[in-house]
Amino acid sequence: MSICLHDVSFAYRQDTLVNDVSTEFAAGQVSIIVGPNGAGKTTLLKLISGELKCGAGNISYHGRKLTDMSLLEQALARAVMTQASHIVFDFLVKDILAMGWVRPNQGMMKTQMQAVIEQCHIADYLHRPFNSLSGGEQQRVQFARALLQVCPMAPLTQPAFLLLDEPTSSLDVAHELMLLELVQDAAAQGIGVIIVMHDLNLASRYADNIYLLCKGALIASGSPGEVLEGPRLSGVYGTPLTVEHHGGLNRLMVYAQ
């Protein structure tokens, strides 16, 4: 029950953006991709979502090649939340949310929507125009929309994936944590979550598995403890970094020296 990458490479013109990556992302876990700017994190996420086609190698969801899946099958297998793009027309929040419903079965929509609304705490502004919300509220609605697309439903077929590209980049600390709590809830429901993120400390706190990318190559992957090592990070980021275990919080913290 996972997404498998086999020797995946992708080049744009002369530049190799993703270089021979083979790895696996498990369902029901939070996987966080980290790495310095230009490491190819977003490109890798776009390859996983199918937005970009692999130059070499292949990607499969639960053993089925992405390239063999129809657009609708892909939409049922994974939802994507990008850095929010501006929406021109005055849609209501509930309209935006309903756009996440891609399944043909309209009858089930109401109950599932209600569940997602409660889970994401967006009931208060359901009937407001989306454009009147704050950045944090908009982000939460977009997350709810992505969640509705892949929320597990009986009869459960296969767990789906949620791909998030820097979901907290425009949020303050409180909203950042709120969103990542929602992510953990989703993973607890069996959804596989893959996040591209800059903040190593947040990654350390929320990730089940961390994937460290540098110059398109996968340097290391595994639990935070396996990946977050001071010398390795210093090399990858090109600046001296220290990793310490914080006793009170019981997790690894990354500091610049």
Stretch binding another protein (CB under 8 A), from 29-37, 68-76, 231-239, 240-248: 68-76
Q: Least distance in Å: CB of 184 to another protein?
A: 22
Interhelix angle 173-188/135-150, nearest 10 degrees:
10
Q: Least distance in Å: CB of 257 to another protein?
A: 39
> Which lies closer to another protein via its Cβ, residue 82 or residue 234?
82
> Which lies closer to another protein via its Cβ, residue 148 or residue 252?
148
Omega into 240 within 30° of 0, i.e. cis? no
Contact 92, 130 (CB under 8 A): yes
Q: Does position 72 bind another protein by CB under 8 A?
A: yes
User: H/E element holding 206?
Assistant: helix 200-206
Distance CA 132, CA 60 (A): 39
> Which lies closer to another protein via its Cβ, residue 78 or residue 200?
78
Binding-site size for another protein (CB under 8 A) equals 25
Interhelix angle 109-120/173-188, nearest 10 degrees:
140
Contact 159, 192 (CB under 8 A): yes
**Beta strand residue intervals within 36-103, DSSP E:** 56-61, 64-65, 78-81
Name which of residues 114 to 153 contact another protein (CB under 8 A): 145, 149
Distance CA 65, CA 243 (A): 38
Q: What are phi and psi of 81, to 5 degrees?
A: -120, 115
Q: Does position 105 bind another protein by CB under 8 A?
A: no
Q: Does position 87 bind another protein by CB under 8 A?
A: yes
Q: Least distance in Å: CB of 212 to another protein?
A: 26
> Which lies closer to another protein via its Cβ, residue 95 or residue 199?
95
Where along the sequence are the contacts to another protein (CB under 8 A)? 49, 51, 71-72, 74-76, 78-80, 82, 85, 87-92, 95-96, 99-100, 102, 145, 149
